[in-house]
Structure 1
Amino acid sequence: MRNFTLLTIIALFLGVSAQAQTVASFDTLTLPKADTFYVNYSSYGDDLGFDDGLAHFPCVYDTFPGGWQYWQSGFAYSNMTDSLTAGYTNQYSAITGKGHNGSSQYIIGWDVMNKIYLKGKAVGKPVNGFYLANTAYAYYSMRDGDMFAKKFGGASGNDSDYLVITVRGYLDGALKTDSVQEYLADFTSSDNTKDTIYRGWRWVNLLTLGNVDSLQIELTSSDMGAFGMNTPGYYAIDDFTTYETASVASSPSTHAAKVYPNPAAGQLFVELKDDKIRHLQITDMTGRVVAGFEAKEGVNLLPVSSLPAGAYLLNMWGESQKASVRFVKQ
């Protein structure tokens, strides 16, 4: 098996591919001062959202009878740093108190169902993914409970609670069947020591959704009431990354290959199930290519001992097939 970074033609291809990603970092969107967020009351009930990168992020504000204004749904960009205050008054803060990689701005999503619309050359192409985190409001509600929502785990600590984000793609107006799920809180294990409410930024890989022109983001919780979800329906997103390559027919990674062990220490075994896969590529969570290989039939042994500990993506492609899987280097 030859390292394909030695092959000029494929190295050139990787250079073009890396340049075909656009990151919406939200850092250039204007806010009037520190510790504030996007608000637009100029037209109630209409989409007054914003664009960044190659995507549109809707935002709808409305008013109750009597004139009280409120955020109805969608996204708002924020530079709030308050990661300590619990409750509704702190709905625009990420639990991290900052964006991914220490950046000053990020976006907050609110509502159990939202959409993100691709623009320009990203339309009809894959989305690489985005970084996801809890908000302070949702985090402390799940940790401690509040007047509307339960403490996750319940009084005994044994309740199988969860908050999950599910992302699906639309293409040509039709909702696709494939989905990507990521836990914001996971108390489903019988071992209570594994109960987790996530605090940091984590990469959500969306390449397996294939070609899309918009994304649907849905929140589901174990804590439901008469009026729907009791858990605050908030989440934070940063570095939303599109992938403007030629259109491909995406094949889910589970169909393309068996990848093990995960986490990996010295070697990563890639047992190909799809004979159309010709190339293997490892990227870090910023999209930087750290290794590349020619694929061979059967089991491929990829050396990863020299990689720093952390999360990576194994990208696989060939002819019209494309798949991706996340793994952790110990």
Structure 2
Amino acid sequence: MIRTSLVQNPGTPSVAAVAAASPSPKSCIPFSRNNLGVWGRAGKNTGGLSTARGAGIKRRGVVSAGRVLSSMAQGQQVAGTADDRVSLDGRDGDGDASSRIQLYSFATPNGMKVSIALEEMEIPYDAHTVNIMTGEQFKPEFIAISPNNKIPAIVDPTGGPDSTPLRVFESGAILLYLAEKSGKFLPQDAVQRWETVSWLFFQVGGVGPMFGQFGMFYKFARDQCDHPYPLQRYTEETRRLLGVLEKRLEGREFLIDAGYTIADMATFPWVNSLQVFYKADDQLHLSSYPRVLEWKDRCMARPLTAKGVHACSL
């Protein structure tokens, strides 16, 4: 695995120009994406960073991502050559450079899901950090593979018909794609398989959105929203979802009887963020969910999972 950072493609609009041209989401509170902070290495919060400070963070190597993604958009070969990358650890990466999955992500709970899956499934890949702190997700070369300008996204250089490039965006869709591709972490038994898919969508439709909204009003918007209802509403819903997980994990090591699956990979990073990033133990009474916390620690203790957490950090 090679890690790089997304860089501006010469001739494309600047990040500022792209962001300025993009309509901002309407909100009842003043909001700046630069106040979000990042989860950082091993899930640790590196704090809120301004645009200027974020732009000065030392990058982990570079990749000519503009050429790579422009080629993908034109239906050409995507992976590029080894000369386009700077390896962090002196390794050339596993597998043929022309066939490695290209991951474009950032170390958030949603971003971690995919790098964890790639590590656990032992699929060769190159990880490109898309710095959402400085607006890199609004670059046209990234939007070419993620139309909603959200991380994570992948390009499989040979995943399409006749080994043509295939892009996949949205973390849940990517997990399903990788599980199908590798034949791992998605049980073949029909009952276990659809249990896995059901719990995966429980995360996608419930845990992620609700935990994220809780974090917004608990960590970032307290001084910008005087009304107590939003925080109360999302605190209660987050606790309800934790209760669902607590009940599910009774007598189980993982969410599915068959063992560790993509459902676990999708969900535990969000639980981890409640403790490590939002620091909401007291607000959510997290000690009331011992099985959930033990399960989260059990997932984090897996060596390949822990390695995946580190990918696409600043």
Fold equivalence (TM over 0.5): no
- Shorter-normalised TM range: under 0.3
Superposition TM-score, scaled by structure 2 size: 0.25
Q: Which has the higher helix share?
A: 2
Q: Based on CA coordinates, which of the two structures has the bigger radius of gyration?
A: 1
Q: Which has the higher strand share?
A: 1
Q: Indicate the structure whose relative CO is greater, using CA pairs within 8 Å and at least 6 residues apart.
A: 2
